[in-house]
Amino acid sequence: MPETILVVVEQHQSKLNRVSLETIAAAQAIAKETGRQVEIAVLGHDIAAIAEELASKNAAKVYAIECPQLAAYTSDGYVHVLKEFLGGKQPKLVLMPHTYQVRDFAPRLALALGKTVIPDAIGYKYENGKLLFTRQMFQGKFAADVSFSDAGPLWMATFQNAAFRADMAEAGTAPVETLHVTVPDGVIRVQPHEIFKEAKQSVDLSQSESIVAVGRGIKEQKNLAIAEELAKLIGADIAASRPICDAGWLPLDRQVGSSGQTIAPKLYIALGISGAIQHIVGMKGSRLIIAINKDAEAPIFEIADIGVVANLFDIVPPLMEEIKKAKAAAN
């Protein structure tokens, strides 16, 4: 029997988080290259429909781990159930999507098994029989190829959103094995409540065709006026990276990135945004990305189509003058 790469998918309220399909695609690619087989596990309560959906993927098996105590997510519950399951199955490699939920339990799960998680990988390499995971460091300024110090089993890694394409997950037919487990009283120490959105979250940036986004390079709140004026000139909406919203300069619903909105407009102008991973995952699907930043090494230039290394305050005013001229000439 070949060694197993096990994907633990994510579900909320009996709905599959689609990012799980990216992880399945990653597992299939690694399995092909390393001569291993893929298995998939889904855990929670009322998950039969998800297991059925996963059974249409190319995998050796789908495990549906049904557990009434996992109806609402808790790290205690997930660690308990997965520790038992993985400890019994001993897969060579466990892959998960790098979601907030996985970040919450996976490190603890790994340590409970005496293992480690390589988090937030953006790809993998298979070199001379050695599996390396590529991850970003120093806010994306560098990439690192990281290996496990031991020989396995129970290597664990998580993949960043959009590191692989969900539509590359190969179809097939996999048998489903349903396991019924329970979590003993006292294991789950925390009490989660309903998930909600703040009422004031009103702006839907995903509908915007053009975005002018500002980052730390804007320096002061009063300087937002220059970005707002540019946005108005080209009919764009204003958005920001996390620090701007943390500072209260723009409301949270203007935030683009992993904790804010994920968008893919036709035009994205990044003013003074360095391009930390958490921001880039929210906008890298934009069709045309123009970045203005004074730091030539800023990671935003890795994904920009057009780059300008300059202080935004030197570029934006003459740019607005030129736009006005161009508009006047067109009329």
Which of positions 176-235 make contact with another protein (CB under 8 A)?
A: 189-198, 201, 210, 216, 233-235
Number of chain positions touching another protein (CB under 8 A):
93
Please report how close the Cβ of residue 52 comes to another protein at its closest, in angstroms.
25
Cβ distance to another protein smaller for residue 84 or 253: 253
Place of tokens 């997510």: 73
Give the residue among 281, 280, 282 at the shortest CA–CA distance from 291.
Answer: 280
Cβ distance to another protein smaller for residue 62 or 94: 94
Which H or E run contains 321? helix 312-330
Single residue of 117, 163, 183, 238 touching another protein by CB under 8 A: 117
Under the binding rule (CB under 8 A), the answer on residue 91 touching another protein is: no
Under the binding rule (CB under 8 A), the answer on residue 288 touching another protein is: yes
Single residue of 3, 53, 84, 302 touching another protein by CB under 8 A: 302
* Rounded Cα distance, 241 and 119, in Å: 22
Q: Which residues share a beta bridge with 62?
A: 40, 176
Give the residue among 149, 34, 35, 155 at the shortest CA–CA distance from 90.
Answer: 155
3-32: contacts with another protein (CB under 8 A): none
Cβ distance to another protein smaller for residue 44 or 307: 307
Please report how close the Cβ of residue 92 comes to another protein at its closest, in angstroms.
15
Q: Which residues share a beta bridge with 250?
A: none
43-82: contacts with another protein (CB under 8 A): 75-76
Q: Both tokens of residue 253?
A: 């619903």
Under the binding rule (CB under 8 A), the answer on residue 254 touching another protein is: no
> What are phi and psi for residue 161, nearest 5 degrees?
-45, 130
Under the binding rule (CB under 8 A), the answer on residue 303 touching another protein is: yes
119-138: contacts with another protein (CB under 8 A): 119-120, 132, 135-138
Under the binding rule (CB under 8 A), the answer on residue 168 touching another protein is: no
Cβ distance to another protein smaller for residue 61 or 116: 116
* Rounded Cα distance, 228 and 296, in Å: 24
Contacts of 28 (CB under 8 A, 6+ apart): 38, 58, 59, 168, 169, 170
Single residue of 141, 152, 249, 264 touching another protein by CB under 8 A: 141
CA distances from 142 to 126, 132, 135, 136 (A): 20, 16, 9, 6
Please report how close the Cβ of residue 178 comes to another protein at its closest, in angstroms.
28
Q: Both tokens of residue 312?
A: 């935004």
